[in-house]
Amino acid sequence: MTDTKTRIEDTVKTNDVVLFMKGNKQMPQCGFSQRVAGVLNYMGVDFHDVNVLADEDIRQGIKTYSDWPTIPQLYVKGEFVGGCDIITEMTLSGELDTLFTDNGISFNQDAADKIREANG
């Protein structure tokens, strides 16, 4: 587990935005991963994707690392943000915009506003 934990830590600390997901950003393999990756892609966020289906150690290890039972999991600047429901809520409330702005993560504000308009 130590090697897996080290790999996860290295990933979340060397990338500003990381999404542990089923599949990848071009081809998510579950609806929840698709939703979060879709939001990030639509908002133009440059993020590193980790396909947990390709590595069982990472798939289980990330749940232990975050103490969060589900995937996807979003990390910003090394900090766990949440899963699909939390990211959806943060997107609709504008909290995700604030988190990105506060951490110097570039994103398309117009796209973020369009998501809220479409779901408002």
Any known ligand binding at 84?
Answer: no
Residue/partner pairs of 12-16 with CB below 8 Å, 24 or more apart: 12/75, 12/78, 13/78, 15/47, 15/48, 15/75, 16/46, 16/47, 16/76, 16/77, 16/103, 16/104, 16/105
Give the separation between CA 48 and CA 53, rounded to whole angstroms.
Answer: 15
What residue ranges in the chain does DSSP mark as E strands?
17-21, 48-51, 73-76, 79-82
> Which residues are annotated as part of the binding site?
30
Which residues are part of a known binding site for [2Fe-2S] cluster? Answer: 30
